[in-house]
Amino acid sequence: MSEFIGNQKAIHIFENLSPYFQGLGDPIRQQIISLLIDRETMNVSQIAEHIPMSRPTVSHHLKILRQAGLIKVQKKGTEMFYSLEFNEVIALMKQLVHFVEVECQY
């Protein structure tokens, strides 16, 4: 019975993490996240300078990252500035790591 509860908890954690994993599943989006780790906030033009893709393509990837809940956007004047929004995903990852540490000890 406790195995079933543990499995259900793992499934629940993975279901909650799924959008984040999907958002991070592309190398271009991983590069964008890496840039934002280094620079904290950037607009699409600044990001496009570092990514070998067109500005519309970069915007598309930013939209996916926003939908996944990995970045947030703030409008300053006419520009949109992007920054990381990792609080929830970090909390979920910690739950997953804790679950694995507790449940998967041999």
Structural domain total, the chain: 1
Predicted pLDDT of residue 85 = 93
Task: For residue 88, give its domain range.
Answer: 2-103
Cα gap 50→96, rounded to integer Å: 33
Q: What value does the mean pLDDT of the chain take?
A: 90
> What pTM does this model have?
0.82
Instruction: Tell me which residue has tokens 């996240």.
Output: 33
Please name the residues in contact with 1: beta carbons below 8 A apart, sequence gap of 6 or more: none
* Model confidence at 84: pLDDT above 90: yes
pLDDT of residue 1: 42
- pLDDT mean over 4-22: 84
Mean pLDDT, range 35-39, rounded to an integer: 94
CATH of the domain at 58: 1.10.10.10
Provide the β-strand partners of residue 14: none
